[in-house]
Structure 1
Amino acid sequence: MVILTSRSLKIGTIIDKTLGVVEHGMKPTLIYVVGLTLINAAIGYYTVGMTAPMDQVVIGLGKFVVGVVTAYVLFDALLRRTGLISRTEGDVFLPYVGLSILYTLGVVAGMIAIVIPGLVIMARWMIAQPLLIGRGYGVRQALGESWERTRGSEFTILGAWFALALPLLAVVIACAILFDPADPIGIVITQLASSAMSVVSLAMGVAVYGLIVGKESQAAAFA
């Protein structure tokens, strides 16, 4: 595999490799989508009437924990199935949790600052989690290297992400309009689309990581 510089990335290439990552990791991806959808749909259904601020904090924290655990498992599976794991040490779950917290805070803070900064941060930190899981980098090193490696390609990455995620976002918006918040069908469809959007982000992180970092010893299987 030829490792690309971030500036030579193309939207079509990122989309193609993202779909390739999903194809190579189809089984864990399906398990992730079904499991995450069922868990979040159950949380959404049984907490639909809980609108107090503290209730919303607890619900949000619960979903965050579920999202972090399931994303870590899927990231690890996708990196292994595409041949992009090169770390020699053991589990890196706790550092991953810390990185996920910083990543989320950074993106949310950017979104509050007129949205675009949050999207740029999301793109520039796109490969931080694969760097941590795939190479065993520390949190600070992973965030810093991701920021540098993706320099100049943030809008290319965002273009690819929007191309895959916008149809799913449209489904979420349509469900909000067409279904009552307590309708279990609407809840399930919304959560299914949200889970698929998460897959887009995770698989694209692996794809971009493979394109501009790769594995030191051999080419990635999906390339």
Structure 2
Amino acid sequence: MAFLQEKRANVADLLGGTFRELGAIRRELAIYFVIFAALTLLPVNRIGLGLLFTLALFVGYFVGQYMLYQAMLRKAGMLHDSGWRIIEFGVMAVLLAIPISIGLNLFVIPGLILIGKWIMAPTFLVARRQNLIEAIGDSWRASDNNTVHLTLAATLVCTVWIIAFAVLAALADFTGAYFADDLVWLWMHVLPVLLAGLSMAAYKQLSDETAALYEVFS
């Protein structure tokens, strides 16, 4: 496959694109967070459904994430496969998390680079009729010559999220508010949403689909 390299994906464009893509699906994001916020209020542990509830949340998380990717792609006119491949989506997350976690734990920088190389993989999988291995490979190739900027953008997103998380956790512990734990738990959903926006922004700038459009109008 040919990928658009004429237009480099600089950090500013990637970060700006992240929030533009998420802003385009404000309604879907509101529904996503309202649902997960409401789930924190269910007294599942009191009625002995803790384990089942955790499993349901695990599945619901991937379903919700998949729907957000679909919404962003649909808004951009880039959703070419409206099918549901939640299992592949979840398996991809696990497959990518293993080497990324090893890289982060042992050397940090290699893990961040892998995040940059694979940031577009979920978008490739949701957008097209291809399997997860093809999507991972396409993301790796599409990031060529732009890996540094993708890595820096992902690092900045993660760093800001971590700082905000630390502040929120400290305030929750200091105030002792009864809903503090729920707020911290809900904040955990913000990082994957931000990374989804970055994934979509990078895909729009670097995928071969964008390259084809670039050639038509150049």
Q: TM-score range by the shorter chain?
A: 0.7 to 0.9
TM-superposition CA deviations, 1:19-38 (whole Å, max 9, x none): 11112111112222332344
Q: CA RMSD for the aligned pairs?
A: 3.2
User: What does residue 128 of structure 1 align with?
Assistant: 121
Over 3 Å counting, the alpha-carbon distance change for 1:117 and 1:171 in structure 2 is: same
Q: TM-score, normalised by structure 2?
A: 0.78
Over 3 Å counting, the alpha-carbon distance change for 1:109 and 1:27 in structure 2 is: same
Deviation at 1:108, TM superposition (A): 1.9
Q: Greater CA radius of gyration, 1 or 2?
A: 2
Over 3 Å counting, the alpha-carbon distance change for 1:186 and 1:199 in structure 2 is: same
User: What does residue 112 of structure 2 align with?
Assistant: 119
Identity of aligned residues (%): 19
TM-superposition CA deviations, 1:13-71 (whole Å, max 9, x none): 111211111121111122223323444x458x977xxxxxxx9x999866543332211
How do 1:31-42 residues align onto structure 2 when only pairs under 5 Å count?
31-39=31-39, 41=40
Aligned equivalents of 1:214 and 1:18: distance in 2? Answer: 19
TM-superposition CA deviations, 1:153-172 (whole Å, max 9, x none): 23312322343443332221
Over 3 Å counting, the alpha-carbon distance change for 1:124 and 1:63 in structure 2 is: farther
Q: 1:75 aligns with which of 55, 69, 75?
A: 69
How do 1:93-172 residues align onto structure 2 when only pairs under 5 Å count?
93-172=86-165
User: What does residue 9 of structure 1 align with?
Assistant: 9
How do 1:190-209 residues align onto structure 2 when only pairs under 5 Å count?
190-209=184-203
Q: 1:187 aligns with which of 153, 166, 181?
A: 181
Counterpart contact for 1:18–1:206, Cα < 8 Å: yes
Q: How many residues get paired?
A: 206
Counterpart contact for 2:62–2:86, Cα < 8 Å: no
Counterpart contact for 1:7–1:153, Cα < 8 Å: no
TM-superposition CA deviations, 1:95-136 (whole Å, max 9, x none): 222212212223222222232222221111111111111012
Aligned equivalents of 1:134 and 1:11: distance in 2? Answer: 23
- Structure 2 counterpart SS, 1:70: helix
Aligned equivalents of 1:60 and 1:109: distance in 2? Answer: 25
Name the aligned partner's letter for residue 189 of structure 1.
L
Name the aligned partner's letter for residue 122 of structure 1.
I
